């Protein structure tokens, strides 16, 4: 009977660990997506400003 509980707790721990890893990976992926989107937007804005300032000259 004791082995059953040990296996049960081990399975629960493994499930919690894999869920934690999945959470970390998804957080890292979304952070990378946000950073790349921000950088792309920042570059586009800089190009717009550069174009506008050149057009004024």
pLDDT band at 1 (very low <50, low <70, confident <90, very high): very low
pLDDT, tens digit (0-9, with 9 covering 90-100), for 17-40 = 788 889 999 999 999 999 999 998
Q: Can you tell me the distance from the alpha carbon of 57 to that of 38, in angstroms, rounded to the nearest whole number?
A: 29
Burial of 4 (0-12, 13-18, 19+ CB in 10 A): exposed
Alpha helix stretches (DSSP H) within 1-57: 2-56
**Total count of residues recorded for the chain:** 57
Q: Does the pLDDT value for residue 50 go beyond 80?
A: no
Structure pTM? 0.54
Instruction: Output the CA torsion sign for 26, 27, 33, 34.
Output: positive
């Amino acid at each position: 009977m004791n082995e059953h509980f040990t296996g049960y707790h081990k399975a629960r721990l493994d499930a919690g660990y894999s869920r934690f890893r999945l959470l970390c990976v998804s957080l890292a992926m979304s952070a990378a997506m946000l950073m790349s989107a921000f950088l792309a937007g920042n570059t586009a804005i800089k190009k717009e400003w550069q174009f506008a300032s050149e057009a004024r000259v």
